[in-house]
Amino acid sequence: MSDLNVKEKWQFGKRDFIFLGVVAVVVLVLVLGTSDRTTKNVPSDAIHLHVDSRAECMTCHGVDGIKPQPKGHSRADQCFQCHMQPKEWHQKPQ
């Protein structure tokens, strides 16, 4: 009979530590990533309370507008995903 030990006792080894480390880093990145989603609020002023479409936002915040989006700004369309709306305002641009 061979004494091949099939049911070797499992031990917490170096590779398991590395694996746990990678999992921890991924979780951390995801958590930090979600909190980064929001930035400056849309101002709660007369102008902004009346806009309800992205096209309107871009008349002022496009490249030739009075307050263009900063260089390298996201091209994402859902402004309100990142720029929170004023509380008293419930419209959503497309």
Give dist(CA 17, CA 24) in Å, integer.
10
9-68 residues in contact with ligand HEC (CB under 6 A) are 39-40, 42-43, 45, 47-48, 51, 54, 56-57, 59-61, 66-67
Are 56 and 93 in contact by the 8 Å Cβ rule? The answer is: yes
At its nearest, how many Å lie between ligand HEC and the CB of residue 80? 7
Are 91 and 52 in contact by the 8 Å Cβ rule? The answer is: yes
Are 41 and 84 in contact by the 8 Å Cβ rule? The answer is: yes
Residue 89 found at the interface with ligand HEC (CB under 6 A)? no
Q: CA-based angle 80:83:89, to the nearest 5?
A: 60
57-76 residues in contact with ligand HEC (CB under 6 A) are 57, 59-61, 66-67, 69-70, 73-74, 76
Residues that bind ligand HEC (CB under 6 A): 39-40, 42-43, 45, 47-48, 51, 54, 56-57, 59-61, 66-67, 69-70, 73-74, 76-79, 81-83, 93
